[in-house]
Chains A and B, each alone.
Chain A
Amino acid sequence: MDHFSLWLAAFLTLGIISFLYKDNPWYKLTEAIFIGISAGYWVVTLYWDNFYGKFWVNKGEEPTLWIGAFFGFLMLLRLIPKVGWLSRWPLAFIVGATSGLWLMNYFASNIMVQVQATIMPLFSTGYGTGFDADFATIVANFVIFFGTLTGLVYFFFSKEHKGAFGVGAKIGIFFLMITFGASFGYTVMSRMSLLIGRIDFLFGDWLGMIQ
Chain B
Amino acid sequence: MNNFLLISLSDIGVIISLIVIFGGLLWLFVRSIKAKEVDRRIIFIFIFVAVAAPILFPITFQESATEVVKGVYNKIENLPAGSRILISFDFDPAMAPEVQPMANAISAHALEKGHKIIFMSLWATGQALLSQTLETVIIPQFPEKEEFVDYVNIGYKAGNEGVLNVIVADFRQMFPTDVNSVPLDSMPIFYNLKSCKDLDMIVSIGGGKPGPKEWVLFVGDPGNIPMGVGVAAVVAPQLYPYYPKQVVGILGGVKGAAEYESELVKNYQKFEDMETPGLRMMGPQTLAHIVIMSFIIIGNVIFFRSRRKDGTK
Contact = CB atoms under 8 A, between A and B. Distances in A.
A and B touch in the complex (CB under 8 A): yes
Interface of A: 20-21, 125, 186, 188-190, 192-193, 195-197, 199-200, 203-204, 209-210
A169 B291 CA distance: 35
Contacts of B15: none
27 contacts: A20-B44, A125-B245, A188-B292, A189-B253, A189-B254, A189-B255, A189-B289, A190-B234, A190-B253, A192-B51, A192-B285, A192-B289, A193-B98, A193-B254, A193-B281, A193-B285, A195-B47, A195-B288, A196-B55, A199-B48, A199-B51, A199-B52, A199-B55, A203-B56, A204-B55, A210-B55, A210-B56
Contacts of B56: 203, 209-210
B126 to A, nearest CB: 20
B97 interface: yes
A136 B51 CA distance: 36
Interface string B35-67: 000000100100110011001100000000000
Interface residues of B, number: 23
A190 to B, nearest CB: 6
Given A125-B245, A188-B292, A196 B51 contact: yes
B41 A195 contact: no
A195 B245 contact: no
B137 interface: no
Interface string B73-112: 0000000000000000000000001100000000000000
Nearest to B255: A189
A186 B52 CA distance: 21
Contacts of A203: 52, 55-56
B206 interface: no
A73 to B, nearest CB: 39
Contacts of A210: 55-56
Interface in B270-313: 281, 284-285, 288-289, 292
Interface string B233-271: 110010000000100000001110000000000000000
Nearest to A183: B237
A105 to B, nearest CB: 19
Interface of B: 41, 44, 47-48, 51-52, 55-56, 97-98, 233-234, 237, 245, 253-255, 281, 284-285, 288-289, 292
Contacts of A21: 41
A20 B43 CA distance: 11
Contacts of A192: 51, 284-285, 288-289
A163 B236 CA distance: 39
Contacts of A20: 41, 44
Contacts of A189: 233, 253-255, 285, 289
B250 to A, nearest CB: 15
Nearest to A207: B56
A186 B253 CA distance: 11
Q: Which are the 3 A-B pairs with shortest beta-carbon distances?
A: A192-B288, A20-B44, A199-B52
Nearest to A197: B97
Count chain B CB atoms within 10 A of each CB in A186, A189, A190, A193 and give the residue with the most.
A189
A210 B54 CA distance: 11
A20 B42 CA distance: 10
A34 B189 CA distance: 54
A188 B284 CA distance: 12
B41 A200 contact: no
Contacts of B237: 186
Contacts of B234: 190
Nearest to A134: B244
Contact of B51 (A195, A204, A209): A195
B139 to A, nearest CB: 23
Contact of A196 (B41, B253, B281): B281
A193 B254 CA distance: 9
A204 B52 CA distance: 11
A143 B245 CA distance: 21
Contacts of B52: 199, 203
Contacts of B245: 125
Nearest to B44: A20
Contacts of A188: 288-289, 292
Contacts of A197: 97
A48 to B, nearest CB: 24
Contacts of B284: 192, 196, 199
A68 B52 CA distance: 52
A192 B288 CA distance: 8
Given A193-B98, A195-B47, A200 B55 contact: yes
Contact of A186 (B233, B254, B292): B233
